[in-house]
Amino acid sequence: MAEPRRVRADAERNRHAILAATEKLLRGSDPGQVTIERVAEAAGVGKATVFHRFGNRMGLMQSVMEQRATALQEAMVSGPPPLGPGAPAPERFIAFLDAVTDLVTQNAGLMTAHDHAAAVRKNTSGERQANSVYQTWHAHVAGLIEEARPELDGALLAHIILGGMHTEPVAQLIRDGEFERLRTSLRDLATALLGTTGEQP
């Protein structure tokens, strides 16, 4: 019984080492230059280990994006306000949209690397609503809308807002680096929908 546990522990350590090495390389290099070979060398593992854990380069880059999304998810649930619990719904809504914009900014290079585009398309296909990250984000946004404006259809509005992040015009903004325009427009949307603290639209 100890041997399978040790193998699993080794596999998990390798996974964390590979993701950490990828993040470090991405901070100093263009995503197109972050190859499996460079990642394996930086992580201290063989190329075969990287392929075994992530399938290919697209799978590795998608896992990096998912890890970043998970960190945002944890901040939403248990981090400090206004992103985490404790702030009024309008403030938390704007903080969430700001955090999503920051995540998009951080992932811009990954999303524009041509060989990662297929992974992005796969992750945002008709199966998007079954994705656990999307489900968590949707529940969060819907809950904030319903808390501030219980007369609104929070569930549907959350789908419209989150789905809009995956449209081609928004994707083009991201490719063009117009992150502040995206941030400002999302803040305007949040304010128009929920108002500010203590204010009813």
User: Residue 164 is part of a domain; what is its CATH number?
Assistant: 1.10.357.10
Residues 143 and 70 in one domain: yes
- Token representation of residue 41: 């060398």
Cβ contacts of 117 within 8 Å, gap of 6 or more: 111
Mean pLDDT of all residues belonging to the chain: 85
Cβ contacts of 116 within 8 Å, gap of 6 or more: 31, 57, 58, 61, 62, 110
Q: Among 30, 55, 80, which residue terminates a domain?
A: 55
Q: What is the pLDDT of residues 74-106, one digit of tens each?
A: 999 999 999 999 999 999 999 999 999 998 888
Residues 43 and 64 in one domain: no
Residue 181: Cβ within 10 Å count: 12
- Token representation of residue 27: 């901070």
Residues 105 and 122 in one domain: yes
pLDDT at site 152: 97
What is the dihedral angle through the alpha carbons of 79, 91, 161, 185, rounded to the nearest 10 degrees? -120
pLDDT at site 201: 53
Task: Give the total number of structural domains in the chain.
Answer: 2
Q: Among 36, 55, 74, which residue terminates a domain?
A: 55
pLDDT at site 10: 84
Residues 181 and 97 in one domain: yes
Residues 112 and 141 in one domain: yes
Burial 61-84 (b: 16+ CB within 10 A, else e): bbbbbbebbeebbeebeebeebbe
Cβ contacts of 62 within 8 Å, gap of 6 or more: 116, 119, 120, 122, 123
Per the structure, the complete domain to which residue 3 belongs is given by 1-55
Residues of the chain with pLDDT under 50: 1, 114-126, 198, 200
Residues 169 and 103 in one domain: yes
Note the pTM of the prediction, 2 decimals: 0.75
Residues 42 and 63 in one domain: no
pLDDT at site 96: 96
- Token representation of residue 123: 């992750």
Residues 68 and 135 in one domain: yes
Q: Among 40, 55, 70, which residue terminates a domain?
A: 55
pLDDT at site 129: 59
Residues 92 and 107 in one domain: yes
